[in-house]
Amino acid sequence: MAVLAVAAMLPAGAAAESAPPYVGVMNFPAIQGPEGPEEFSWQVTLYDGQELRQIDDRTAAVYYTDLQEHLAFEIPVAPAHDADGAMVPTTLAVTQPNTLTLTVHHRDGNPGAAGAPFDYPVLPGEGWEGGFQPVQIVGPPDESALAKVPLPSEPAVLAARCLVPDLAGRTLRASRKMLNQSDCALGPIRGERSRGARVVRQYRAAGKSLPAGTEVGVKLLRP
């Protein structure tokens, strides 16, 4: 493993042998202003058959190289933020066979704010982008506010339906009129069509709801 006791952090400019051991975290002292250091280094304790390698500008890793090469563990870059919570860019590099160097790019300004200076101190750890935001909590509305709330719109008009009327005992003329008023239509006519004939049977049950325009057939007989 590559873990030793915690030691005080020193800038990268100090002698390599003065860099504290890496203990799983990269904690650096607060940077109080633009004149503060940007680089901090740690020594990773490597055992026989281990090698520290650069993966990219945000990741390093320790590999076992004896027998079959494989990954021991990765070391991600440490985040940083300013006093207002804005994230400060950081990168990580392997600067000696067993040395990690973290660069906190605070002097370049905030890339998310067109290079505006960061608010010091710059501290280790995740930030809260954009700083603190005020939140207004609104209570229940009063009567004047309720009066301004628009009323729900009128419900949509239902599509027309044929509600079959009861035609029993009606003349053909009266039956036709009732069917038209109910959005139905007169269908086939059976039986006697002489003057005074009346409906003795209809071929759609009275009270049934059907699509508009449905035909209702009838049978006529003269009393």
Give pLDDT, residue 137.
Answer: 60
pLDDT, residue 10, reads: 46
Taking CA atoms, 49 is separated from 87, 95, 187, in Å, by 37, 19, 98
Alpha-carbon distance of 206 to 81, in angstroms, equals 79
pLDDT under 50: residue ranges of the chain: 1-16, 130-131, 133
The answer to whether 220 touches 190, Cβ cutoff 8 Å, is yes
pLDDT tens-digit profile of 141-154?
Answer: 666 666 666 666 65
The reply to whether CATH 3.30.10.20 applies to domain 161-221 is yes
What pLDDT score does 152 carry? 61
For the chain, residues classed under CATH 3.30.10.20 are: 161-221
> What digits encode the pLDDT tens for the residues 92-137?
999 999 999 999 999 999 998 899 999 999 999 988 764 454 556 6
- Note the pLDDT of residue 7: 34
